[in-house]
Amino acid sequence: MEQFYIFLQQLINGVSLGSIYALIALGYTMVYGIIKLINFAHGDIYMMGAFVAYFAVLYLNVGFLPALILAMLTCLVLGVLIERIAYKPLRNATRIAALITAIGMSFLLEYTMVFFVGAQSRAFPDVLPSVRLEFFGGKVYVTGKELLIYGVTIVLVVLLQFIVKKTKTGKAMRAVAYDRDAAMLMGVNIDHTISATFAIGSALAGAAGVLVAIYYSAINPLMGMTPGLKAFVAAVLGGIGIIPGAALGGLIMGLVETLVIAYGQSTYRDAVAFAILILILIIKPSGILGSNVREKV
C-alpha cells in the first residue's frame, strides 16, 4: 500500500511537470505547424517570462495574476518581434538557414540575459500562500502551487482551443498551416496570421515560465534550454502541428521524467527524453496522434 501512495504522489508531481511541458509544447507545435520551423528560441521566451514575473513581483510589488499577465504580454511582444526581425526575411530560404537563425536567436536571448543579470540562479519570491491538500492521512498531497499549475494550464488550453477552432484568426491559422499558397489566394493575410501564431505561442511559453518559477522557486538565464528541447520532444511525441497532441505529449514527458527520477536514476532524466525522441522518430515519426503523410514528388 505504501508503494501505491508513493506512486500516486509521483503521478501528481508528474502531471504538474507535464502541464508545464504541455504549455511550452503548444507554442512549438503551433509555430512548426504554420512555418515548419523548430523555433529554438521558444525555450528562451519561456525563460524571459520567468524573469519578467520575477522583476514585476520584486520591483512593482504585484501579486501572482498581474505578474502572470505582464509576463505573457511581454513574451507576446517579444515573440512577434523575433519573428519579424529574424524569421520573416528567411521565409523562403532553406530550412537549414532558418534553423540556424533560430539557434542564433536562442543564444542571443540567453547570453544577453547572462550579460545583464548574471548566470547565477535567483530565488523566486513566494507569491502564494502555502496551501496543501492531503489525502490518505497525509501520505499523498497536492500543494497550492500544483493546483495553480493545473488551473492555469486548463484555462489556457481551453482558451487556445477556442481561439483556434472558433475565431476568424484561428481559422486563418489552420488554413495557412494546411496550405500557405492556397490560403494566400483566398485572401488570408499570411503575415498577420504568422504573427498571431507567434504571439499566442510565446504568451503560452511566458505563462509556463512563470509557473515553473513559482513551482521550483529558482530562475536563471539558461533555464530555458533543456525544457525547451524536452517540450519539442513532447510536441513530436504527440504529433507535430497537432494541438491536442502537444498537450498529450507534454503530459507523457512529464510523467515519464518524474517516474525515472523516482524509480531510476535522476542523472538519466535528460537522456530519457532524447531516447524517447529517437525511438518515436524511428517507429512513428508522425507522432501518437499524427497520420502518416506520403511524400509528394
Tell me the closest approach of the beta carbon of residue 168 to other proteins, in angstroms.
30
173 neighbors 164 (Cβ within 8 angstroms):
yes
Q: Min. distance of Cβ 249 from other proteins in angstroms?
A: 14
H/E element, 134: strand 132-135
Within 8 A by CB and 6+ apart from 182, the residues are 175
Reported residue count of the chain is: 297
Q: Is 85 exposed, middle or buried (0-12, 13-18, 19+ CB in 10 A)?
A: exposed
**Residue-wise over 33-70: b if at least 16 C-beta within 10 A, else e?**
bbbebbbbbbbbbbbbbbbbbbebbeeeebeeeebbbb
CB of 114 to other proteins, least distance (A): 5
Q: Which is nearer to other proteins, 127 or 231 (CB)?
A: 231
Is 130 or 267 the residue whose CB approaches other proteins more closely?
A: 267
> How many angstroms separate the CA atoms of 141 and 234, rounded?
26
List residues binding other proteins (CB under 8 A): 36-38, 86, 89-90, 93-101, 103-108, 110-112, 114-115, 225, 229, 232-233, 236, 265, 267-268, 270-271, 273-275, 277-278, 281-282, 285, 297
- Complex with other proteins: residue 90 or 289, whichever CB lies closer: 90
Instruction: Report the nearest approach of other proteins to the CB of residue 91 (Å).
Output: 11
- How many CB atoms sit inside 10 A of residue 240's CB? 23
For other proteins, give the closer residue by CB, 40 or 215: 40
Nearest distance, CB of residue 87 and other proteins, angstroms: 10
Matching residue, cell 521550483: 216
In the complex, what is the shortest distance from the CB of residue 279 to other proteins, in angstroms, rounded to a whole number?
A: 10
CB of 19 vs other proteins, minimal distance in Å? 23
Shorter beta-carbon distance to other proteins: residue 39 or 153: 39
- State the DSSP code for 284: -
Nearer to other proteins, 122 or 171 (CB): 122
Nearer to other proteins, 96 or 185 (CB): 96
